[in-house]
Amino acid sequence: MSDKKLFLSVDALKPGMITAEVIFNRFGNVLLWDNTELNESMIQHLRNMGVYTVAVYEKREQDFKTYINIPKTMTELKFKIDYQQNVEKTKDIFRKISAGRHVEVNEICPIIQSEVYHTESNRFVIDAVMQVRNADEYTYYHSLNVSLLAMVMGKWLKLSKQDVQDLTVAGILHDIGKTQVPDEILNKPGKLTDEEFEIMKRHSEYGYNIVVGIKGINERICTAILTHHEKEDGSGYPLGLTGDKIGLFAKILTVADIFDAMTASRAYRDKDTPFKVFELMQHGSFGKLDPIVLNAFLKNITNYYIGSKVRLNTGEIGEVVFMNSRDFSKPVVMVNNRYVDTMTSKTEEIVEFL
């Protein structure tokens, strides 16, 4: 089977064809990612957005479905298997430390060597973060997800390979101090009292004290774990540092930590839609999060939600076709062959992510 690229006019596209390159509009926004299977609504959207030529993969008609489905499915399946195995590895690390056993850095490194770390498609990472997770094992899933989000953020920020690896390790271990927090506080199904919250806040200090004893964990990783709850305006903890005193790793972990925590279902609340989280992060975190890190995160991650299914307050189900950079929480949605710009509409809004 050839993987040769063909450049076709938008009118020659057919449902089932696979894009060979990322498709941008004239403003540089991503309309569709590469390796996307086209459908009728996507093709019409490209026409409407003024796209004239699209690169697709050459195929033999009789082999087309086999060509696109089996390799894609097997790659995604391998990622999901690797992801679950890494959840178990994370769980094992936390349990060993909770039991007072010594952990070697090479027990953490296999996670870095897995398909999860080396996957070429960040879409798998984003999909994994959005999956429903076992509430009893929230901390393990959360630690792995923060690690994955930090990894892709490091790549988006064009950090060195070593920095991305160190950042990924910091993500896995950022909440390791919670092994020292009493279960009745850690798993409390409701808001913590002021006294309980003061105990919970100590987890970043506990985490630092744990990781400095692991041979092979450098000081930059340790400091990121200690300071991942610091805020730009000095309102964070445990040191009350301001932006110029907070390291880049900690700034990245903070954004990843907030996004995963807010998109996760917890015992005491339902998860927020990603669009609600985008709103809170873009417009409700002024002075709290590093603007450069946050902007890089939002500009990149929001593109992965193009093609997502959503329900509007009208009860109608639509497909996200364009992300508004002025307000990422209010995308353009295609509903029954009409476009709804939720940023300008006074009557329609997204109420559910499907």
The model's confidence at residue 69, banded by pLDDT at 50, 70 and 90, is: very low
Residue 145: which of 14, 283, 264 has the closest Cα?
264
Residue 209 and residue 223 in contact, taking contact as beta carbons nearer than 8 Å: no
Count of domains forming the chain: 3
Residue 69 and residue 123 in contact, taking contact as beta carbons nearer than 8 Å: no
**Residues 125 and 248 grouped into a single domain:** yes
**Residues 30 and 154 grouped into a single domain:** no
Please say whether the dihedral angle defined by the alpha carbons of residues 346, 352, 353 and 354, taken in this order, is positive or negative.
negative
Q: Give pLDDT tens digits for 205-246.
A: 999 999 998 888 999 999 999 999 999 999 999 999 999 999
pTM exceeding the 0.75 threshold for the entire prediction = yes
Whether 285 is covered by a domain: the verdict is no
52-56, 114-118, 276-280: which range is least confident on average? Answer: 114-118
The model's confidence at residue 188, banded by pLDDT at 50, 70 and 90, is: confident
Identify residue 187 by its one-letter amino acid code: N
Picking from 244, 270, 296, the residue at the C-terminal end of a domain is 270
Q: How far apart are CA 121 and CA 38, in angstroms?
A: 18
The model's confidence at residue 178, banded by pLDDT at 50, 70 and 90, is: very high
Identify residue 132 by its one-letter amino acid code: V
Residue 295 has pLDDT above 70, yes or no: yes
**Residues 19 and 147 grouped into a single domain:** no
Q: How far apart are CA 118 and CA 296, in angstroms?
A: 21
Q: Using DSSP, state whether 304 is helix, strand or coil.
A: helix
Q: At what angle do helices 161-173 and 248-262 cross, to 10 degrees?
A: 50
Whether 224 is covered by a domain: the verdict is yes
Q: Facing residues of 54 across strands?
A: 8
**Residues 106 and 188 grouped into a single domain:** yes
Identify residue 246 by its one-letter amino acid code: I
Residue 67's pLDDT is 34
Kindly report the CATH number assigned to the domain that includes residue 42.
Answer: 3.90.105.10
Cα separations (Å) of 70 from 42, 67, 310? 22, 6, 27
**Residues 25 and 87 grouped into a single domain:** no
50-54, 259-263, 324-328: which range is least confident on average? Answer: 50-54
**Residues 42 and 168 grouped into a single domain:** no
Residue 133 and residue 87 in contact, taking contact as beta carbons nearer than 8 Å: no
The model's confidence at residue 193, banded by pLDDT at 50, 70 and 90, is: very high
The model's confidence at residue 100, banded by pLDDT at 50, 70 and 90, is: confident
HSE (side-chain half, CA atoms, 13 Å) at 316: 15
- Percent of the chain exceeding pLDDT 90 equals 46
Place of tokens 């070593």: 162
The model's confidence at residue 170, banded by pLDDT at 50, 70 and 90, is: very high
**Residues 15 and 50 grouped into a single domain:** yes
Whether 330 is covered by a domain: the verdict is yes
**Residues 114 and 177 grouped into a single domain:** yes
Whether 278 is covered by a domain: the verdict is no
Whether 113 is covered by a domain: the verdict is yes
**Residues 315 and 237 grouped into a single domain:** no
Cis preceding-peptide flag for 238 (omega within 30 of 0): yes
Picking from 217, 249, 270, the residue at the C-terminal end of a domain is 270
Residue 133's pLDDT is 62
**Residues 107 and 162 grouped into a single domain:** yes
- Percent of the chain exceeding pLDDT 70 equals 88
Residue 342's pLDDT is 94
Phi and psi at 23, nearest 5°, equal -105, 125
Residue 63's pLDDT is 39
**Residues 141 and 206 grouped into a single domain:** yes
Residue 3's pLDDT is 59
Whether 16 is covered by a domain: the verdict is yes
Q: What is the CA radius of gyration of the chain?
A: 22
Whether 290 is covered by a domain: the verdict is no
Domain that holds residue 330: 306-353
**Residues 24 and 156 grouped into a single domain:** no
Whether 119 is covered by a domain: the verdict is yes
What is the rounded average pLDDT of the residues 293-319? 91
